[in-house]
Amino acid sequence: MNYRHIYHAGNFADVLKHAVLSRLVTYLQQKEKAFRVLDTHAGIGLYDLSSEEAQKTGEWRDGIGRLLDGDLPAPVAAILEPYLATVRELNPASELTRYPGSPKLVRMLFRPQDRLSAMELHPDDYETLHRLFDGDFQSRITELDGWLALGAHLPPKEKRGLILVDPPFEIEGEYERLADGLAKGYRRFTGGTFCLWYPLKKNAPIKAFHEALKALEIPKMLCAELSVRSDRETTGLSGSGLIIVNPPFTLKGELDVLLPFLKTRLGQDRFASSRCFWLRGEEAATRALD
């Protein structure tokens, strides 16, 4: 309940998460039928990068700031276009002062038929988020523990959907809770696309987390990770990862282009790295046989 994303808005982890989230939304829009995005840990929706909190850490300067400051290779620019277009729309002047959280980002990408359900437990953050979307009939904002939404709000009535699970990782056992949450949500909505965010830091139980996910025997799970620095000199965040369940068939190829670029552009020391691989799927099965 103490986490405040304003200190981290627009950092390298947001860049990876929101770039992939934008691709998932645009992929779902290839079909005319409506879909719903369920954001389980929504935050306040829109962040003021000129605020005292954001200026105190300045993390956005080494994240979204580095993307907007330089030219992008054409293949990378095409992948990032939906994401960066929303950021630029929020900042029509040259100065970058506003950054969209996940609910605002997807809402800006929506067609008239698409819907958002955003959950936020922190009372103050819920009130801020509710005011941001007040009067928006395409969005439903609920003051609720996002973990409960994986049962109570699935499957969506649209029968098509994207579920973003982005917990703050404030307490012990969050990796286990994330795996359990996916198991619960997937049982209720096997056709949904799930996107799970997790931190990379010193002594994080990533191998055990991946093994727990593989044990769920969900047919298609893609993993993308970006580390911007070594974890040897810090106990803080050195990287972040995403697990995408039921990913679009084009996503693996896009990430193979995007991740090496992000490693170079956002890397903070020579230990920056990235990887993209199937936790479960055809390629994972093939690799196991080699």
* Cβ neighbours for 279, distance < 8 A, ≥ 6 positions apart: 210, 213, 214, 221, 222, 223, 243
- C-beta neighbour count of 220 within 10 angstroms: 16
Angle between helices 12-28 and 251-266 (to 10 degrees): 160
Distances (CA, A) of 186 to 76, 150, 175, 193: 31, 9, 17, 9
Residues 236, 201: Cα–Cα separation, whole Å:
6
* Strand blocks (E) in the chain: 36-39, 46-48, 98-100, 115-119, 139-142, 161-165, 193-201, 221-227, 237-245, 273-280
Q: Side chain identity at 109, as an amino acid letter?
A: L
Structure tokens given for 10 = 């627009």
Q: Which residues pair with 277 in a beta bridge?
A: 223
Residues 214, 206: Cα–Cα separation, whole Å:
12
Q: 39: which DSSP letter? A: E
Residue linked to tokens 């809402």: 107
Q: How far does CA 37 lie from the centroid of its chain?
A: 12
Residue 131 has φ and ψ, to the nearest 5°, of -65, -35
Catalytic residue among 14, 62, 125, 166: 166
166 catalytic, yes or no?
yes
Q: How far does CA 93 lie from the centroid of its chain?
A: 26
Report, as residue numbers or ranges, the catalytic residues. Answer: 166
